[in-house]
Structures are given as C-alpha cells and as structure tokens.
Copies of this chain bind each other. A is one copy, B any other.
Amino acid sequence: MKASSTEAADLYRQMLRIRRFEEAILEAFPRGLIFGTTHTYIGQEANAVGVLSQRQNEDIVISNHRCHGHFLASGGSMSALAAEMMGRSTGVCAGRGGSQHLHWDNFFSSGILGGTLPLAVGMAFAQKAQQSGQIVFAFTGDGALGEGVVYESLNMASLWTCPVLFVLENNRYAQTTPVEVNLAGGIGERFRSFGIPTDEQDTTDVAKIEACARSAVDHVRNGKGPYALIIHTYRFAPHSRGDDMRDPAEIERFRQRDPLKIQATSLKKSVLAQLDVEVRTEVEDAFNQAETASMADPASLTYPIDLIR
C-alpha cells in the first residue's frame, strides 16, 4: 500500500518536529535554560512516528528515559515539553518530572529502566478487563533487556493475553555499551521464548515501520495477545549530552540512513521547504512560550499523600 502524499508529508513533518525539537533542546543547554539532563531521539524518529501512526485516540503509550519523540508523536504539547525541561509552571508535569518523567493524558514515562513494562502489562490488562478496546504501546531500548522485571512482564502479558505491543528500539548501544556486550542470545528469541510473536526490522524507513506497526497493532487489537516489534535503529546524538564514545565513522555510516532523508525522497522540494519553515516556527514558538512562562512556584508543592488525617 502506497501512502498518499499528504500522509507521507505528515510522517515527515512529525519526524522533523522531533528532530528540530531535540536540536533546540541541545542548544538550550549551554544557555542554562534546562534543568538536569536529556536523552534525545535524534536518529530514531521513524520508530515513534511510524509506530504511533497506528495509535487510536485513547490508546496508551508507555515510554522510557528517551521519551521526547514518543511524547511528541503521541500528540503531546511541544511547548509544555520545553517548559517542563525548563522547570516552568506550564510544564507537562508543572516542573516536577523534567525530561524523563512525563505524564500527559494516556502517556507515561519514567527514568528507571525496565520498570515501566509491568505497568504496561497491568494497564493492558485493565483495558481488556474493561473491554475498552484500547491497547498499550510500550517502548523499550535494547539495554533495558538487562532488567529482570522485563521478563516477568513478558510472561504475564503472554499468560494473560494482554493487548500490549512491545516496541523494542535496538539502537545498538546502552549508554556507552554495545548491545553485544550486554546481551547474550537474541532479542527476538527472548520475546518468542515467552510465546510472544515478533516482527524484527532493520530499518529507518518510516513508511516501512508504519506498515509493520499496522499488522502488529492488528494482532494486538484483535485480542490475540501481546506482540513485539523489534526495530534495529541508531541514534545520531550522544546518549545524553557529550558522552559519545562511538566511532565517528560508524555514526557517519548510519547517518546515511537518516530517516528524514529517506522520507524526504518521497516528497516534493516545495513541500519540504514549506514543512521546514512550519516546523522551525513551531519549535521557536514553543521555546519562546516556555521561556516566557513563569518558573514553577515552590508554593505549588504538595505532599504526595495527606500526612495526617
């Protein structure tokens, strides 16, 4: 199935939004605008955009530390995300969470690797129990496959036929560690050994990812239980900031398959130019809006539960 040109443009636009947003974040650091650190999605945009193109309105997205791309592709507000990272009252979580702890509508992320997966399974269980038709998209990296709770989650998801799509983004590194050093055996085998069917793709072509996601989501939405989409990908930027130990030649080689470049080939020059302007403006506006918002107010702090009652 060939995507219409508007669809193709939209996929490109969404990837471009992520790319430009992340670049702007990296630029904002030296200006002292951002608290904490960040993990940018640069290079992996096709995954979030391709997979989440199959998300329906109320579906749930569970993300990890590298969550900006997932958040934006889930429809999260760009200015609220910028504001969150700048510690503003208008941030996604009013400045409480920062870069890796986002909650908005049906979107959740956290900074402890692997621990989000049982949550994803439980949420999927709840949607099934309530026959809501909603499914859960759960994003994880290759490194998180080191965490035991991941396997506890796969087992439960499979035993209980939970409507969850595991999206495993293998960007070939966990922080500085190549996947071969961290992971014995195979990624696909790990899922399949729990009776979870897999589709494994080595691609940054958003159209291809979209197509794979479509059949994966079909499986999940039709009550056939969990499914794992394993995407071999690459990140172009450092793990967080300035901590890149990879061979620059390797990065260059992978940049040849920049998802934006690939998708650009199916779009007219004029469309690309227009999208470029549109997105630049959107990102600028988002950052301006964030920067002019007030800092999170300590008076807004509350205790997590009533201390005495």
Contact = CB atoms under 8 A, between A and B. Distances in A.
A104 interface: no
Given A193-B190, A195-B184, A155 B146 contact: yes
A267 interface: no
B159 A148 contact: no
A159 B184 CA distance: 6
Contacts of A150: 148, 151
Nearest to A154: B184
A261 B220 CA distance: 49
Contact of A158 (B155, B185, B192, B196): B185
Interface in A146-170: 146-152, 154-155, 158-159
A152 B159 contact: no
Interface residues of A, number: 24
A148 B185 CA distance: 17
B195 A192 contact: no
Contact of A181 (B149, B159, B185): B159
The complex is assembled from copies of this chain, and their number is 2
Interface string A183-212: 111100110111110000000000000000
Contacts of A194: 184-185, 190
Nearest to A152: B148
Contacts of A149: 148
Interface string A10-30: 000000000000000000000
Nearest to A160: B184
Which among A149, A155, A182, A192 has the greatest number of chain B C-beta atoms within 10 A? A155
Contacts of A186: 193, 195
Contacts of A147: 148, 152
6 contacts: A146-B152, A159-B184, A184-B196, A185-B193, A189-B193, A190-B194
